């Protein structure tokens, strides 16, 4: 629980959105075909060891796909990978 609260503080510290239920708004970049699959199946398959998300729609994630999928994920499901001045990457 404490880890989740700390993560919420870090995400909000870079202007990330966390709702009252602890769901974080994140963005995933991919191609249009994969974005359609993600939206229709409500699932994702990682091509690497992890899935990568950003708290900013257009930030460090630029260049990783031409289509953005906006998601709301429970904070306890996220692992912080990197913090920048204005975004967190999970």
Concatenated DSSP letters for the chain? -HHHHHHHHHHHHTT--B-TTSEEEEEEEE-HHHHHHHHHHS----SSSS---BSSSSSTTTTS-SEEEEEEEEGGG----EEETTEEE-
pLDDT one-digit tens code per residue, 49-85: 889 999 999 988 888 899 999 999 999 999 888 888 8
Quote the domain boundaries for residue 25.
Answer: 2-89
How many domains are there within the chain? 1
Q: What is the pTM of this model?
A: 0.88
Say which residue, 17 or 88, is predicted with more confidence. 17
Share above pLDDT 90 across residues of the chain, in percent, rounded to a whole number? 66
């Amino acid at each position: 629980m404490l880890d989740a609260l700390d993560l919420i503080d870090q995400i909000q510290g870079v202007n990330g959105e966390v709702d009252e239920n602890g769901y974080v708004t994140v963005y995933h970049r991919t191609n249009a075909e994969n974005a359609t699959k993600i939206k229709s199946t409500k699932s994702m398959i990682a091509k690497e060891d992890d899935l990568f998300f950003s708290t900013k729609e257009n930030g460090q994630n630029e260049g990783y796909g031409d289509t953005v999928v906006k998601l709301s994920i429970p904070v306890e499901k996220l692992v912080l990978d990197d913090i920048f001045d204005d975004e967190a990457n999970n």
